[in-house]
Structure 1
Amino acid sequence: MERVLEGRTALVTGSTSGIGLAIALAYARAGAKVMLNGLGAPDAIAAARREVSEAMGGEAPFSDADLSKPEAVRGMVAAAHGAMGSLDILVNNAGIQFTAPVESFPDDKWDAILAINLSACFHATKAALPGMRERGWGRVINIASAHGLVASEHKVAYVTAKHGVVGMTKVVALEVARTPITCNAICPGFVRTPLAEAQIGPLAKEHGVSEEVALTDYLLEKQPSKRWVEVEEVAGMALYLAGPNSGAVNGTALSIDGGWVAA
């Protein structure tokens, strides 16, 4: 891969697995220094760090910041500056999910999803922008969702947070529009991850169908392509937004959803 990010530094939240890890690997292979962030089993985190470090050709720094706490988010951004000397690219990717009807949606789940999926993006972006302005270059990339553009039942907190991320993206883009900084959102549909794939078996059992039918007719019901979005596809879009020739792309919500929001 061409090293289009040579000399750049990046922080990717929620990057110990799934979409975040794919983005971190793409950036490292393109020449960037990358700081990881996330929670999980120590062995899984260590494996992710080894993989990114190997791609980067040096030790990948790591933050275990609890993104539900604003002071921890600010500390993570400061740690990224300390470990890498700068922060050129911020990818706000970390997120959690919970589903229930509005009337029975737990208050604590609402608070947690809004804190991690939306407020953490604000606090990280607020902390990162001054350094980007000082250096005269920066990229903020928010991983939103198709649910940042359309809604589904039983996902009130997630849909609200992701709509907020898209709105915040537009505000930041307007405020940096006359600088070499951009802010964009990526809006994936259903992405193949272990957590997503784990939903197929229970759906098949619930509806009395094969796992193939459970995938196409139930899990991917709203995704016209009837196939997963792959993490590498999302990472490729994130790499483009961080690389050269993307400076005029600002304030956009880029769909990668198999045609979901076109329907």
Structure 2
Amino acid sequence: MTAPTAPAPLPPSVALDLEGRTALVTGAAGGIGRACALRLAAAGAKVRAVDRDATGLKRLTARATGLAGTVEPLVLDLTDLDAAEQAAAGTDVLVNNAGLQLVRPLEKFPPEVFHTVLTVMLEAPFRLIRGALPHMYGQGWGRIVNLSSVHGLRASAFKSAYVSAKHGLEGLSKTAALEGAPHGVTSNCVNPGYVRTPLVERQIADQAAAHGIPEDRVLAEILLKDAALKRLVEPHEVAEAVAYLCTPQASFITGTSLALDGGWTAH
């Protein structure tokens, strides 16, 4: 897959001090989750990095050496909902990021995959929020950031499970914002377009088959078709938006969806 040249990574632009705070990031072994875990650890947080990929978590932990905070790996399959809820106990910052994708027409979409996508991407975030809120409420402070997607705001063909999960996550996030407001807890969504991650790269063949085009045309004709900025979003750009929502300056931002979509939703 080729794309316009990515912008050079910049130093963190948001002043964020999370020393003494515990953050939990799901899907932390790669992509957006990895970038978020490193960004929060750089701000001094003790990060519980949750993923079912033990090898990826090991690489993440090594990469975090020398940061102001720490990364503690937790190998966990989020379909174990009770374990997910227990893992969130005592967290100050919760980043619901884990996701999976399958591109198929509705009539060919495997029901068992639909169920798994909704479990990991909607029911598990509910259980994680449920597990985190008692501690957040008790101290009068908390930050919930839900990695939604442009697909939480717009639909695309052949992604029934993913679009359904992200639209549901938007509603869950807003409900958490309303309930959390009296307790000093904010809840927001971050909505990137297509991000340069393995999850996106793995879609190329399925997108080509679903749309009946060669793989080398997928990026321009499908993934970036509706975006004004014709490039993929970088994981570190998404992580910086997540970090901003955890700052004191963002304390009045709750119940919203922050689009990092290159102008996709401007149409």
TM-score normalised over the length of structure 2 = 0.88
The answer for the alignment partner of 2:256 in structure 1 is 252
1:97 equivalent to 2:101? Answer: yes
The answer for the alignment partner of 1:43 in structure 2 is 55
1:166 equivalent among 150, 154, 170? 170
2:33 equivalent among 2, 7, 20? 20
The CA distance in 2 between the partners of 1:112 and 1:233, in whole Å, is 28
The CA distance in 2 between the partners of 1:35 and 1:105, in whole Å, is 33
Contact 1:3–1:29 under 8 Å retained in 2 = no
Shift of 1:7: 2.2
Shift of 1:201: 7.4
Contact 1:26–1:235 under 8 Å retained in 2 = yes
The answer for the alignment partner of 1:217 in structure 2 is 221
Q: Secondary structure at the match of 1:61?
A: strand
The answer for the alignment partner of 1:4 in structure 2 is 17
The answer for the alignment partner of 1:196 in structure 2 is 200
The CA distance in 2 between the partners of 1:200 and 1:258, in whole Å, is 20
Aligned pairs for 1:119-198 within 5 A:
119-198=123-202
- Aligned amino acid, residue 241 of structure 2: M
Q: Secondary structure at the match of 2:144?
A: strand
Q: Which runs of 5+ in 2 are unaligned?
A: 1-11
Q: Which runs of 5+ in 1 are unaligned?
A: 82-86
User: Percentage identity across aligned positions?
Assistant: 42
Shift of 1:178: 2.1
- Aligned amino acid, residue 48 of structure 2: M
Select the structure with the greater relative contact order (CA < 8 A; seq sep ≥ 6): 2
The answer for the alignment partner of 2:77 in structure 1 is 66
1:261 equivalent among 259, 262, 265? 265
Deviation per CA, 1:22-42, whole angstroms, max 9, x where unpaired?
0111111111111101122x4
Shift of 1:262: 1.1
The CA distance in 1 between the partners of 2:149 and 2:124, in whole Å, is 16
Q: Secondary structure at the match of 1:55?
A: coil
C-alpha distance 230-61 of structure 1, shift in aligned 2 (>3 A): same
1:242 equivalent among 243, 246, 265? 246
C-alpha distance 68-198 of structure 1, shift in aligned 2 (>3 A): closer
TM-score normalised over the length of structure 1 = 0.89
The CA distance in 2 between the partners of 1:75 and 1:55, in whole Å, is 27
The CA distance in 1 between the partners of 2:147 and 2:208, in whole Å, is 29
Quote the RMSD (CA, aligned, Å): 2.0
Contact 2:16–2:243 under 8 Å retained in 1 = no
- Aligned amino acid, residue 188 of structure 2: N
Contact 1:216–1:227 under 8 Å retained in 2 = no
C-alpha distance 133-97 of structure 1, shift in aligned 2 (>3 A): same
| Count, aligned residues | 252
